């Protein structure tokens, strides 16, 4: 009888656990060497990877995938070089392991350290972009975690070729090749087995669209680090400098309207309505559709009427919802009701009021006088990120290599016994 | 038609969420006032609480509960005073909210703060001891979290009386009484609804026996902070001072054999076998049963033979498993295979070897030359704890008020836009 999905996961999981134990005690140099040799292997095996990718592209075209999907799937020498350089950049980051997070001595002389250690085994489930294979493996490896990868079925040949290059790097650095494993089947039910493998997996990170994230959150029996929505808000307070506000709003919405940190609803204080014209001018000039409440629509005929559903919509597109509010309290109430806890903020000249507003937001990232599009691990200075988390435990906001660690207490005594 | 359990949880959950939002922006003084007035209310309502407790005790005696169970359930004026004083001690702790956990400025001038904020709504499921009602509510309140409590069915009248005193404290401090709610039904299926209420609950903490913890871990659709087992190990290295080792081993096993931090297996280096006699003398004198591998049994006729099952058993009793190992590697392999990730350690005079050993342990708490019974929030200096966690995410080891918080990033700009 052939292996069931649960048996497959037991086999991969046990190997991953063994590799994780080895990784946890490697030094930074050995993990960096694996990243660097993996980068070299990607360059050396470029032709093989690109040939595998052409195979994926041909099959995807036959299956009628959209142009946007094909573009996400496509690799070329520049994208391959980006992947290799990305691994080298991860190698160059400071070692997230062994950081002394806290240290104190008890009255009885016990010295207690809180030290960063790897999480263990991480599952990463992603969609069509094959570069995630290298990025996710690199971030997990850097942070001493073994990883089990499950990429999209349309990228299966590309992912296998990239995985082979990564394994070459592991072997050359003397690491267990099970530190980076690729789920060897595209069977949809194998993902279910992966999500239920709490004996072997310490965490799952889904990277992809809302449908993927929702499935992972619904089915996982292990902790999930992810965000489902980025329905982000800015509240314009009358104390804000209008030129600053217009520039930040335009950037927050239109720099890249499709990313999770993009602004989706602008809340405008009733005392700041004389700024509305300048904001509308700028956004319309950038090609943004504007949907507003009745009060704003009455002020400016260029606005379309918003419906209730607009307040709950993450457009991920060149569309902005606008609503007038009576003041900070009403703005906070709107965000509490409609927000997704990702990134929200305030535009205000009054610093004390702004600090209070941020403290009252229940969002992973709260911003004052800056674009919501700074919600990004690179912009936070984390070097690279595996995603943004909006859950409340362990990590919130950008998840970089430090956030892929947990900690251990180390207690040093001189023979102390407890009375 | 009467309310279903899911509808009940929606009602309690929505009220808890509202209370949590209010709590998150209270200052320390207001939360401490609620704790202090709750302590006073427990003292003032002592007669009512004790009468309710007698009702529970009578019913429990009728149902034939064991003497140990009845003792856990029993309240008297001294235990009530302990409960009130416990709330006052929690009030006296430093405020866990608003702590600046990190702060940095990016090259573009953005200042980023990482600030401690409450988790939100916490569910606490516990068994017969009614004092958990006050302890758990106190810790959650101090850390700005709303809590939904579900105590044991045998303590239902006691828990309701204590809950009423806590609510009196909340009301007097001007807080939403839904900050501390008690599940109003003892129906077993209501616990299932609570464990599935991921819309309203951010975390669940089970406090009780292994059966309760296992059920919560299996059924919960929200993160669980708990430990299932404390199968703890010490490894005796030949460099250890033998008098120190004997004292620490005796304390780790016999101070209170029934707590989760108690030692369960002693691993003895083959080069340290001449110390075994002194260890056996001391443990037998304290009334401890000793189960050992063949090699140790051949050395000392007072030892009983251990079976394979002993290595995996958390006795929680005056029994110790003993095994000889060839060295640190074999000790680590034994712990990796049989340990539960709670508290493990080494007895050694060689500090460098000990530090390396701790780093190679995959345990929440790793100890050198000290009793495993220090695995406790009070002993760590946390003031009070809601339990010990052996999961890998968010909090590991003792869970005190700081561990009942999460964080928010606050980004302060001067109009920055992302290029």
Picking from A25, A364, A371, the nearest residue to B417 by CB comes out as A371
Picking from B203, B367, B393, the nearest residue to A119 by CB comes out as B393
What does the pLDDT look like over B241-265, one tens digit per residue? 999 999 999 999 999 999 999 999 9
Q: CA-CA distance, B352 to B3, in Å (whole number)?
A: 62
Picking from B241, B336, B391, the nearest residue to A21 by CB comes out as B336
| Paired strand residues for A203 | A122
Answer yes or no: do B380 and A407 touch at CB < 8 A: no
**Going edge to edge, which strands form the sheet with A405-416?**
A100-105, A111-118, A405-416, B365-370, B343-347, B232-236, B263-269, B319-325, B289-292, B304-305
Closest CA of chain A from B12, distance in Å = 18
pLDDT of residue A171: 95
Closest CA to B268 of B237, B240, B289, B228: B237
Chain B residues lying within 8 Å of A115, measured CB to CB: 359
CB A115 within 8 A of CB A408: yes
Which of B228, B396, B411, B413 to mutate against chain A (most A CBs within 10 Å)? B411
To the question of pTM greater than 0.80 for the whole model, the response is yes
Q: What percent of chain B has pLDDT over 90?
A: 90
Chain A residues lying within 8 Å of B369, measured CB to CB: 412-416
If one counts every other C-beta atom within 10 angstroms of the C-beta of residue B222, the result is: 20
Q: CA-CA distance, B203 to B220, in Å (whole number)?
A: 9
Q: 């009845």: which residue's tokens? A: B70
Q: CA-CA distance, A219 to A125, in Å (whole number)?
A: 13
The residue extents of the domains of chain A are 5-225+398-410, 232-379
Instruction: State the Rg of chain A over Cα.
Output: 24
Whether the predicted interface score ipTM is above 0.85: yes
CB B311 within 8 A of CB B209: no
Answer yes or no: do B25 and A359 touch at CB < 8 A: yes
Pairing of strands A405-416, A111-118: antiparallel
**pLDDT at residue B147 tops 70:** yes
Answer yes or no: do A417 and B251 touch at CB < 8 A: yes
- A-chain residue closest to B107, CA distance: A381
CB B195 within 8 A of CB B221: yes
Picking from B364, B392, B411, the nearest residue to A370 by CB comes out as B411
Mean pLDDT of A331-340: 96
- A-chain residue closest to B408, CA distance: A364
- Of B14-18, B196-200, B329-333, where does mean pLDDT reach its minimum? B196-200
Helix (H, G, I), strand (E, B) or coil at A254: helix
Q: CA-CA distance, A152 to B288, in Å (whole number)?
A: 57
Mean pLDDT of B206-223: 90
Give CA separation, A38 vs A91, A172, A179, in Å. 11, 9, 13
Chain B residues lying within 8 Å of A381, measured CB to CB: 104, 106, 112
Answer yes or no: do B379 and A406 touch at CB < 8 A: no
- Strand ranges for A224-340 from DSSP E: 232-236, 263-269, 289-292, 304-305, 319-325
Give CA separation, A21 vs A18, A113, A146, B28, in Å. 5, 21, 9, 42
Q: CA-CA distance, A2 to A97, in Å (whole number)?
A: 40
Answer yes or no: do A369 and B415 touch at CB < 8 A: yes
Degrees to nearest 5, angle at CA B211 with B206 and B213: 25
**pLDDT at residue A1 tops 80:** no
pLDDT of residue B384: 85
Closest CA to A302 of A310, A311, A292, A315: A292
Answer yes or no: do A393 and B396 touch at CB < 8 A: no
What does the pLDDT look like over A93-117, one tens digit per residue? 999 999 999 999 999 999 999 999 9
Q: What percent of chain B has pLDDT over 70?
A: 100
Closest CA to B339 of B207, B223, B230: B230
Answer yes or no: do A370 and B336 touch at CB < 8 A: no
Closest CA of chain A from B360, distance in Å = 6
- B-chain residue closest to A364, CA distance: B408
Closest CA to A262 of A234, A236, A281: A234
Task: Record the tokens describing residue B224, joined without a space.
Answer: 């669980």
Q: 């001038």: which residue's tokens? A: B109
Closest CA of chain B from A65, distance in Å = 32
Task: Record the tokens describing residue A225, joined without a space.
Answer: 């680090």
Answer yes or no: do A396 and B415 touch at CB < 8 A: no
- B-chain residue closest to A101, CA distance: B101
Chain A residues lying within 8 Å of B17, measured CB to CB: none
DSSP-derived secondary structure for B6-55: HHHHHHHHHHHHHHHHHHHT--HHHHHHHHHHHHHHHHHTHHHHHHHHHH
Closest CA of chain B from A322, distance in Å = 20
pLDDT of residue A67: 87
Picking from B21, B202, B364, the nearest residue to A336 by CB comes out as B21
**pLDDT at residue B236 tops 70:** yes
| Paired strand residues for A117 | A406
**pLDDT at residue B1 tops 70:** no
**pLDDT at residue A388 tops 60:** yes
Answer yes or no: do B410 and A359 touch at CB < 8 A: yes
Q: CA-CA distance, A330 to A333, in Å (whole number)?
A: 5
pLDDT of residue A2: 79
Torsion angles phi and psi, residue A238, rounded to 5: -60, -20
**pLDDT at residue A349 tops 90:** yes
Picking from B362, B391, B415, the nearest residue to A247 by CB comes out as B415
According to CATH, what is the number of the domain B5-225+398-410? 3.40.605.10
Helices A131-142 and A156-172 pack at an angle, to 10 degrees, of 30
pLDDT of residue A208: 87
Answer yes or no: do B366 and A408 touch at CB < 8 A: yes
Which of A105, A253, A415, A419 to mutate against chain B (most B CBs within 10 Å)? A415
Fold agreement (A5-225+398-410, A232-379) = no
Degrees to nearest 5, angle at CA B262 with B261 and B264: 125
Answer yes or no: do B119 and A345 touch at CB < 8 A: no
Closest CA of chain B from A404, distance in Å = 10
Task: Record the tokens describing residue A200, joined without a space.
Answer: 């072997």
pLDDT of residue A353: 98
Mean pLDDT of B226-231: 90
pLDDT of residue A292: 98
Most confident of A4-13, A182-191, A246-255, B219-228: A246-255
Closest CA of chain B from A40, distance in Å = 31
Look at the alpha carbons of A38, A40, A44, A48 in this order and tell me if their dihedral is positive or negative: positive
- Strand ranges for B80-238 from DSSP E: 100-105, 111-118, 121-126, 146-150, 180-182, 203-207, 232-236
DSSP-derived secondary structure for A335-361: HHHH--SSEEEEE-S-HHHHHHHHHH-
Picking from B366, B380, B411, the nearest residue to A410 by CB comes out as B366
Answer yes or no: do A364 and B244 touch at CB < 8 A: no
Task: Record the tokens describing residue B19, joined without a space.
Answer: 């209370």
State whether CATH 3.40.309.10 applies to domain A232-379: yes
Degrees to nearest 5, angle at CA A219 with A215 and A221: 140
């Amino acid at each position: 009888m052939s292996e069931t999905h649960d048996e497959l996961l037991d086999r991969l999981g046990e190997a991953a656990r063994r590799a994780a134990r080895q990784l946890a005690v490697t030094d930074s140099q050995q993990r960096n060497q694996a990243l660097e040799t993996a980068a070299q292997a990607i360059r050396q095996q470029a032709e093989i990877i690109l040939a595998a990718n052409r195979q994926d592209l041909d099959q995807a075209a036959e299956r009628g995938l959209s142009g946007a999907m094909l573009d996400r799937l496509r690799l070329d020498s520049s994208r391959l070089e980006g992947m290799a350089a990305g691994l080298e950049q991860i190698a160059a980051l400071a070692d997230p392991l062994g950081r002394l997070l806290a240290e104190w001595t008890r009255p009885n002389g016990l010295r207690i350290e809180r030290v960063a250690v790897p999480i263990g085994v991480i599952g990463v489930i992603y969609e069509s972009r094959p570069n995630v294979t290298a990025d996710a493996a690199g971030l997990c490896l850097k942070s001493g975690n073994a990883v089990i990868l499950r990429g999209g079925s349309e990228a299966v040949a590309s992912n296998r070729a990239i995985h082979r290059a990564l394994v070459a790097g592991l072997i050359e650095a003397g690491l267990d090749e099970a530190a980076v494993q690729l789920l060897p089947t595209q069977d949809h039910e194998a993902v279910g087995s992966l999500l239920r493998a709490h004996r072997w997996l310490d965490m799952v990170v889904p990277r992809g669209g809302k449908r993927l994230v929702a499935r992972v959150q619904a089915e996982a029996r292990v902790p999930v680090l992810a965000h489902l929505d980025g329905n982000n808000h800015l509240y314009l307070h009358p104390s804000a400098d209008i030129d600053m506000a217009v520039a930040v709003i335009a950037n927050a919405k239109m720099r890249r309207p499709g990313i999770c940190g993009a602004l989706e609803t602008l809340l405008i204080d009733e005392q700041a309505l004389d700024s509305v014209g300048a904001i509308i001018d700028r956004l319309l000039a950038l090609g943004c559709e504007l949907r507003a409440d009745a009060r704003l629509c009455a002020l400016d005929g260029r606005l379309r009427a918003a419906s209730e559903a607009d307040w709950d919509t993450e457009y991920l597109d060149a569309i902005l919802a606008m609503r007038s509010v009576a003041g900070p309290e009403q703005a906070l109430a709107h965000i509490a009701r409609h927000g997704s806890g990702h990134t929200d903020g305030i535009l205000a000249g009054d610093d004390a009021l702004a600090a209070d507003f941020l403290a009252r937001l229940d969002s992973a990232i709260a911003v004052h006088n800056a674009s919501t599009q700074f919600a990004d691990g690179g912009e936070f200075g984390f070097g690279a990120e595996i995603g943004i988390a909006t859950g409340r435990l362990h990590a919130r906001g950008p998840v970089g290599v430090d956030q892929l660690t947990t900690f251990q207490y180390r207690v040093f005594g001189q023979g102390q016994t407890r009375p």
